Amino acid sequence: MPKLPPPDPRLDQLRGGVPPKRHNARTIAALTTNPGCVRRAVLDTAGIDKDALARHLEFPAPFGQSSFAITRGNAFEAQLKADGCAELLTLLRETLDLDLTEVAYADLESVGDNVSENARNTYSEQRLAHGDENTLFDHPLLRLVVAGQSVYLEPDLVAFQHHGVYHVVEIKSFAVIDGQADPAKVAAAAIQSAVYVHALRQLLGRPEAVADEVVLVCPKDFSNRPVATKVDVRKQLLVLDHQLTRMDDVDTLLSALPAGLTLGLAPDPEGTPTRPVAELTASLGELSARYSPDCLGHCELGFFCRDEATGCTDALGTAVREQLGGVDTIAEALQLAQGTWAGDEHQAEVAAVLRTTARVFSESA
């Protein structure tokens, strides 16, 4: 395992001296949902606990899976992997056009009695780097360096197809009904799978050794019968690579921040935060945010940033923000539409569109 460089002391200062919060596949996937947000990039690079920040600011986010969903997901995965992944193999034959009657199965969830992350990761890397043809590798533990921290990732399964090409298999418990699944859930599964593809390519050192398409397996309709489909994650990989590279460039991210800036919560001996909320809010204000309604489902600070963006066109969504480029507030947009404010030369085109739209609505009312 390569030795990591020493952490930048400025990141420790930003955290207030507490250890960094470790990333996982879900948090890495969430990095790609708003790549233009400097605040999110800085917080995640420093490993700051955004959930703790949100709770102290009194804007907690209701994140996390229900116990029912977790139980259903575990049962569905166990069903697919029963009898050496017999049911899953049938799906893979159809989805990947395999002409195999049998495959080998390797359970990488533990190394004998040793279940430590280092041992599992070393064993997984050895088996995957010298993987046997036509072997299903179950729960390998992959390692990825994110902003100078080692992150361990555990895909549901990695299938080794014909001709030496790996396929990541992601098992989800949300249903595919009449051939359609919830687009938001499919998108979330795609980016999470892209994280695994990226980590596996880093391990092997050969991008072509891991397929751009992952296999997504879900229950069909309202039953436990599985259905599999291939999902192309090339777009997600490009965004992920950009964001991870950006987080590695600590100097660029931190150079514009005021000296001495900290987002620490100043916990007392019992761990209770003592940092004044107004002071913490002012410190967060030094980090440029790029709020959109999608943030509520992906970022722990989404509700705080929504409140901060009250009255701004950002709060109306990405599409509106792009159409009203250069118009920062809803009040300005209304003044342009009503003709009570001319704006500057850069807002002339937007002003014309808003006045035309307002006229059309007025005439049709």
H helix or E strand, kind and range, residue 201: helix 183-204
C-alpha dihedral, 33 to 39 to 40 to 43, nearest 10°: 170
- Note the pLDDT of residue 237: 94
Tokens of 80: 């697919």
Lowest mean pLDDT among 22-26, 92-96, 144-148, 322-326: 322-326
User: Domain locations in the chain?
Assistant: 9-64+242-292+300-311, 67-240, 316-364
Strands 135-138 and 104-107: parallel
Please tell me the distance from the alpha carbon of residue 12 to that of residue 14, in angstroms, as a whole number. 5
67-240 domain in CATH 3.90.320?
A: yes
pLDDT digits (tens, 9 = 90+) for 199-237: 999 999 889 999 999 999 999 988 889 999 999 999 999
Please tell me the distance from the alpha carbon of residue 237 to that of residue 243, in angstroms, as a whole number. 10
Please tell me the distance from the alpha carbon of residue 36 to that of residue 176, in angstroms, as a whole number. 32
Q: Which amino acid is at 158?
A: V
Please tell me the distance from the alpha carbon of residue 348 to that of residue 342, in angstroms, as a whole number. 8
- Note the pLDDT of residue 112: 72
Please tell me the distance from the alpha carbon of residue 185 to that of residue 343, in angstroms, as a whole number. 41
Q: Does the structure show a pLDDT above 90 at 310?
A: no
